[in-house]
Amino acid sequence: PVMAAAQAEAGGERSVMAGPAGPAMDDVGPVGPAVGELRAAGPAVGDSDGAAGAAMVAEEPPAPPPLPGLRLVQQGAEAHVYRGLFLGRAAVAKLRVPKRYRHPALEERLSRRRMAQEARSLLRCRRAGIPAPVVYFVDYVTNSIFLEDIVDSITVQDHIYSVQKSGNDASGLQKLAEKMGELLARMHDEDIIHGDLTTANLLLRPPTEKLDLVLIDFGLSFISGLPEDKGVDLYVLEKAFISTHPDTETMFQALLKAYAATSKKSGPVIKKLDEVRLRGRKRSMIG
């Protein structure tokens, strides 16, 4: 069933070994789990697959915040996401899930760093005119963040599902892809790496036809000017696209074309993207 208006936290859990800030890595391993996680958290609510995997150690979920009209939106591996009214406004509360299998000192540091990165990236986006939710409150004790809720929005993921299901207006999807490409180009030009680009992390404000996009979920984001990091960012999106949405190769091509047209620094990035594609999983590296 299509999940409407959900800001899905499909937080792909990168292995701790990979380094908390997630800079460019030689082995594109972490892309794999991130994509796998996406499939599980995609159309289905809840995280049964993830929970089963992490069930080695009992994970105590964080207590829900006492917000009026509280609804649990998504139980990701990284955080529980709630919707409710905060100080009179529709808000999203992301409460990080503590990982008991980690050493407490590391857990604390990692949690704090992720949250700080998210807040920092959100502010940086806004300053540059890149649409992202407003930050209302950051709680460093429980490592939770309260953000603007984009009311009545729909994820690009759900939008593509519904358009493909209804079978009409594929040209609208091409325009959407172009807008996505433009938006990502602007984001990368600010040296902001999203870190978890999926169609579930892109929202469309109502009315959907306006193609008013909003980027969300910057929990794995970081700042980098390296074409490699930007290339990997796009690669993550490409894998997410192909795995979640069949027959969208032309869409992604349109996205890349718009990206290249918008960003002056796109040349090296696309080049790196091609390189990363060759590196990917199950690729023969003979020779």
Q: Which residues bind another protein (CB under 8 A)?
A: 65-68, 84-89, 116, 119-120, 122-123, 126-131, 134-139, 141, 148
Nearer residue to another protein within complex by CB, 73 or 115 = 115
Q: Which residues have a Cβ under 8 Å from the Cβ of 116 and sit 6 or more positions away?
A: none
Q: How far apart are CA 279 and CA 202, in angstroms?
A: 26
Nearer residue to another protein within complex by CB, 101 or 137 = 137
Nearer residue to another protein within complex by CB, 89 or 281 = 89
What letter would DSSP give residue 80?
E
Nearer residue to another protein within complex by CB, 145 or 269 = 145
Q: How far apart are CA 79 and CA 94, in angstroms?
A: 6
Q: How far apart are CA 78 and CA 94, in angstroms?
A: 9
Q: How far apart are CA 109 and CA 103, in angstroms?
A: 10
Q: How far apart are CA 61 and CA 58, in angstroms?
A: 9
Q: Report CA-CA distances (Å) from 208 to 151, 159, 161, 162, 170.
A: 12, 8, 14, 12, 14
Cβ 140 to another protein, closest distance in Å? Answer: 8
Which of 140, 93, 141, 128 lies closest to 215, judged by CA?
128
Amino acid in position 73: V
- Per the CB < 8 A criterion, the answer to whether 239 and 31 are in contact is yes
Nearer residue to another protein within complex by CB, 122 or 273 = 122
Cβ 217 to another protein, closest distance in Å? Answer: 16
Which of 194, 154, 220 lies closest to 19, judged by CA?
220
Cβ 143 to another protein, closest distance in Å? Answer: 12
Nearer residue to another protein within complex by CB, 117 or 248 = 117
Cβ 159 to another protein, closest distance in Å? Answer: 20
Q: How far apart are CA 102 and CA 130, in angstroms?
A: 34
Q: In terms of DSSP H, where are the helices of the chain?
A: 31-41, 48-54, 104-127, 156-166, 170-189, 227-244, 249-262, 266-279
Cα 199 to the center of its chain, rounded Å: 8
Cβ 90 to another protein, closest distance in Å? Answer: 12
Cβ 65 to another protein, closest distance in Å? Answer: 6
**Which residues are catalytic, by number?**
196
Paired strand residues for 80: 75, 95
